[in-house]
Structures are given as structure tokens and as C-alpha cells.
Amino acid sequence: MIRVLDLFSCIGFHSLGLERASPDFKIVALCEANERRRQELERLHPGVPIYDDVRTLPVIEADVVFGGPPCQRTSVAAAIHGKRDGHSLWPYMLCAGIDAGAEWIVVEQPPGNAAWEAQVYRHLSRAGYHVARFVFGAEDVGAPYPRRRVYLIACTSLPRLEIAWQAGPSAIERAKGAADARGDWDPDAIPTFDMDTWRADDVLERREAIEALGDSNPPAMAEVIGYMISDAMAGGAGFEPALPFGRTEYRSAAFNHSATPVDPQEMAGAADLCKTPPPQSNVKGD
């Protein structure tokens, strides 16, 4: 069993993708601020604890912490509109992972914010994690739209992280094949748009549903990450390496082991949030 703490859960597409990748993934808790979205999570995960604020999350033991901190103030779109100031709920996600004793922390974000990514790298490295950056899009798993995303995959075990990274290309092909088999992108299988839903009393609910879909990556993208992690946990038995370790020819996927020391003052703000003190990093020069 691989216990998963799903943060910034939206309508549950990350957890759905992980569960599709392997029955070994077990969602132990979710966290989502939006009430309507929590109702959908309750439907998908009956009996699973659902929290409404990552800032007040109790200690929840998990092997994997997975989430995409809201990017309204860190993304390229935020920069275009003059609202990018670097503010993020990321420190709370980091501390949830430390408190959980997680072996894996997976951070999902849109591409285009190298400074924010570098900060996340430093925080994870300081907390004793090795980090790989894996970039691909919904189009790579068969979707009719690009939706490229960055996944910062962190693990306390460098050998396991190497296995996960090497499994990436084959994991994408496996997720694409599974999505095709399910008919994920079949236009005849997608529910048609009902104009009656635009009646005045349904407009708000409809708008929130559309926003939730817009905030979500298709489950097949988390399925890719699930294959990578489950292969690594199994010692690499489920894949054939498609690339020599360290090459970057596949899309923008690149392994980047982060060993950059962090400014103690920068880390203090995150560490102070944690219920469990961050472990000492085994990175040289820390």
C-alpha cells in the first residue's frame, strides 16, 4: 500500500489518476478549500477525511504528498496581469510532507516561473529530498489540447528517484494507451452541453463547475506520475528504460538533482510552520 495525501485536491483528478496507475495507491486524506469541490470529493472518496485548509492541516502520515499549490500569484498569467509576487501556499505543502514522513513529494505547476521553482528546489533539498523536474502536456497522453505542466518529483531516495525519472517516457505511453482504451478523448463519449443549465438559478453552479474543470489536469497526467512512482517503489520491475539516465531528448523532461544550499532565513519561514522539525539534509555543503 502506498498512502497518498492529496492537497489542493480540486475535484479529485490527481487522486483518480494515481488510483488508475496502481491499486496500491490509497488516498488517506484530501484537502480542498472550495465547498462545492469538496462535495464532489466526498462522492468520489466516501469515508476519506477531507480538510478545508492546508494551513491548519493536522499531521497525516503518508508515503506520497501530491498537489499543485494555487498559482494565481506565481504563474506567467499572473505576471502578465501584474499580480505575480511569489506568494504561495507551497510552504504549507512542504510542511505537510515533512510532518507526514513522506518519501515522495510531487509539486505540480504551470511552466514559466523559474524563480519560484528554484525556491521549491532549495526548500526540498534543505529538507533532505532529491528533486527531478519532469515536464509534459495533456497532449502527450492523447488530449486534444496542450496543457503543459511541470512536475517537481522529490524523493528521499536518490536511486528510487532515478528509476522514476527513467520510467517517465514509458509511463506516458502507458497512460496514453490506457486513456485511449477508456475512450477518454472520444467526442462521442463526452457528455453534451445542455443549454438548460444556463437557467438563472443554475448559472453560479455551472460556472463553478467549469472553473473546476479549468483548474484540473486530466487524470491521465497524474496517472503518468503514478506509474513512475509505483515502478520506483517496485524497484523498476515494470518498465524498460527508454533513455540513458541524464539525457533530455524526451520533450522537456530532465533530471535535475538539486543540491543547492538554502539561505537559513529563507527556510525559517517554512520550517516554523511545521509541526515536526525538518530532517537534517544529507546534501553536501548544507
83-134 pLDDT per residue, tens: 444 567 899 999 999 999 999 999 999 988 888 899 899 999 999 999 999 9
Distance CA 161, CA 255 (A): 9
Q: Is residue 280 predicted with pLDDT exceeding 50?
A: no
Mean pLDDT over 270-283 rounds to 50
Residue 284 lies in a domain: no
Residue 245 lies in a domain: yes
Residue 283 lies in a domain: no
Span 220-249, pLDDT tens digits: 999 999 999 999 999 855 444 444 333 322
**pLDDT of amino acid 276:** 61
**pLDDT of amino acid 196:** 57
Dihedral angle over CA of 64, 66, 69, 75, nearest 10: 120
**pLDDT of amino acid 199:** 53
Count of domains for the chain: 1
Residue 193 lies in a domain: yes
Q: Is residue 152 predicted with pLDDT exceeding 70?
A: yes
Mean pLDDT over 20-44 rounds to 93
Beta strands in the chain (DSSP E): 2-7, 25-31, 50-51, 64-67, 104-109, 130-137, 148-155
Distance CA 118, CA 136 (A): 19
Domain of 117, CATH number, reads 3.40.50.150
Residue 274 lies in a domain: no
Question: What's the whole-number average pLDDT of the chain?
Answer: 78
SS3 state at 6: strand
Contact assessment for residue 3 and residue 205, using Cβ atoms and an 8 Å cutoff = no
Residue 80 lies in a domain: yes
**pLDDT of amino acid 70:** 84
Residue 277 lies in a domain: no
Q: Is residue 193 predicted with pLDDT exceeding 90?
A: no
**pLDDT of amino acid 63:** 97
31 pairs with which residues across the strands?
51
Q: Comparing 184 with 139, which gets the higher pLDDT?
A: 139
Which of the four pLDDT bands, split at 50, 70 and 90, describes residue 36?
Answer: confident
Q: Which residue in the block uniquely carries the three cell numbers 489536469?
A: 217
Would you say the C-alpha torsion 237, 238, 242, 248 has a positive or negative sign?
negative
Domain of 82, in residue numbers: 2-263
Q: Is residue 150 predicted with pLDDT exceeding 60?
A: yes
Residue 249 lies in a domain: yes
